Every structure is written in structure tokens, then in C-alpha cells.
């Protein structure tokens, strides 16, 4: 079930300041949203570790089955998977001491939000990261303009 949580601008800004990010949800299918996020983040000089238990690499970068397999600790995690998988990722993040998570629209649930709160993990939910990483491009730029116009951006 989708959450009605409203993210705070402070949490968005803190997440965007991170440099090493695990991205849970890259796919073999090129049109998947996780793949777009990977490309946009790497284009903006973020270090991105793609996670998918069915891939050994993505875009020439090693792909990892889970957070424990990463070669180094990341600053934060983006989830672009089903809510049930996000909940498992949050539990693993808590075990590893990772304190920032961005749950891309559709990957969050009330339980995932509760898990973040229980484990003192700062999180963003119900937001598209592509509307916030500068420079915002293409349809995301228009979408952000509309949300700003109607006062729907995080405050």
C-alpha cells in the first residue's frame, strides 16, 4: 500500500548531498526507471552501486546482489523496487548502519516508513529523485514546475 507521507525539503537536500549511493532496482530492461536514475546520477558524478541479484554488471559497472556484497559502505540507498523488497532493504540497511534512504515513488509502504522510523533512518518517500538532482531535465523539469506552482514540493 502506498504511503501518504510528505517528505521534508531538509531530507531531500541531505540525500542529494550524498556521494556514494546504492541503487536497488536496475534492470535488464532498458526502459525501467531504475536504469534512468542510474544514468542520471552517474552523469552528475555520483558514485552509484547498482543492485540486482540477477545481474553481474550493469552499464559496464559491477552489479551486486545485496548491500552486504558492496565493496565499500555507501552513504545512502535509493529503492526502485516493490514495497516488500524495500522493506527487506531497510532491514539490511539498519544492520549495516546506513542512515539515509530514498524510496522512489511506488517503492514505499507504511511498513517501510515505520521501519525507517524504528531504525532512526532518514528517508524520502513519494518523490521522484529526477525532479531534484540538478540540472533537472526533460519532462521532470516541467513536472517540477507544476508541483511548485501548486505548492506540492517538499517544504
pTM: 0.88
> Is 118 a residue whose pLDDT tops 60?
yes
Domain 9-128 architecture: 3-Layer(aba) Sandwich (3.40)
Q: Please state the rounded mean pLDDT for residues 87-108.
A: 97
Q: 3-state secondary structure string, the chain? A: CCCCCCCCHHHHHHHHCCCEEEEECCCCCCCCHHHHHHHHHHHCCCEEEEECCCCCEECCEECECCHHHCCCCCCEEEECCCHHHHHHHHHHHHHHCCCEEEEECCCCCHHHHHHHHHCCCEEEEEECHHHCCCCCCHHHHHHHHHHHHCCCCCC
Nearest residue to 41 (alpha-carbon basis) of 104, 123, 113, 117 = 104
* Greater model confidence, 36 or 141: 36
Query: What pLDDT is recorded for position 140?
Result: 60
Query: What pLDDT is recorded for position 90?
Result: 98
Amino acid at each position: 500500500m502506498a504511503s501518504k507521507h510528505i517528505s521534508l525539503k531538509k531530507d531531500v537536500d541531505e540525500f542529494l548531498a550524498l556521494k556514494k549511493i546504492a541503487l536497488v532496482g536496475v534492470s535488464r530492461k532498458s526502459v525501467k526507471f531504475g536504469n534512468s536514475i542510474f544514468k542520471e546520477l552517474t552523469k552528475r558524478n555520483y558514485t552509484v552501486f547498482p543492485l540486482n541479484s540477477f545481474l553481474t554488471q550493469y552499464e559496464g559497472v559491477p552489479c551486486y546482489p545485496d548491500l552486504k556484497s558492496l565493496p565499500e559502505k555507501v552513504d545512502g540507498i535509493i529503492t526502485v523496487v516493490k514495497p516488500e523488497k524495500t522493506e527487506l532493504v531497510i532491514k539490511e540497511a539498519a544492520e549495516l548502519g546506513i542512515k539515509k534512504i530514498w524510496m522512489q515513488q511506488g517503492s514505499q509502504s507504511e511498513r517501510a516508513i515505520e521501519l525507517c522510523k524504528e531504525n532512526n533512518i532518514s528517508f524520502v518517500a513519494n518523490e521522484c529523485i529526477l525532479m531534484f538532482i540538478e540540472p533537472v531535465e526533460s519532462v521532470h523539469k516541467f513536472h517540477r514546475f507544476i508541483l511548485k506552482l501548486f505548492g506540492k514540493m517538499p517544504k
